[in-house]
Amino acid sequence: NAGVTQTPKFQVLKTGQSMTLQCAQDMNHEYMSWYRQDPGMGLRLIHYSVGAGITDQGEVPNGYNVSRSTTEDFPLRLLSAAPSQTSVYFCASSRQGAGNTIYFGEGSWLTVV
């Protein structure tokens, strides 16, 4: 039962470096998304996708890029890391439609120094 798998779990980056957070799901879910969690802010949506080849911005998209070439994978790219991007990142997926539960990966802890 893999569900939603994120890698890496922990990462330290220097300001200005780029990196990709990987996300894969094996449930054939159409909807995938990335959230970031910051103290006192809850979880905020970065980008989402409703199917292969279709992506759109969430609440806090600046500094991030996504693509969806397959149903299974939804990587999140940090183009030029900034200390403000220090956060915990969660990938999530669900079947299309608001009535379906969104399942989350285990999270990726990112520190930008």
Q: Given the rule CB under 8 A, which residues bind other proteins?
A: 31, 33, 35, 40-45, 48, 50, 56, 58, 88, 90, 92, 96-99, 101-107, 109
Taking the least distance from each CB to other proteins, the nearer of 54 and 80 is 54
**C-beta of 98: minimal distance to other proteins in Å?**
5
Look-up of token digits 């079947």 = 95
Taking the least distance from each CB to other proteins, the nearer of 1 and 99 is 99
**C-beta of 80: minimal distance to other proteins in Å?**
26
Taking the least distance from each CB to other proteins, the nearer of 26 and 56 is 56
**C-beta of 16: minimal distance to other proteins in Å?**
27
**CA-to-CA distance for 54 and 42, rounded, in angstroms?**
26
Taking the least distance from each CB to other proteins, the nearer of 17 and 104 is 104
Look-up of token digits 């996708």 = 49
**C-beta of 59: minimal distance to other proteins in Å?**
8
Look-up of token digits 């999270």 = 107
Which residues fall within 8 angstroms of residue 110, CB to CB, at 6 or more apart?
10, 11, 12, 13, 21, 78, 85, 86, 87, 88, 89
The string over 12-33, giving b where at least 16 C-beta atoms fall within 10 Å of a residue's C-beta and e elsewhere, is ebeeeeeeebebbbeeebbbbb
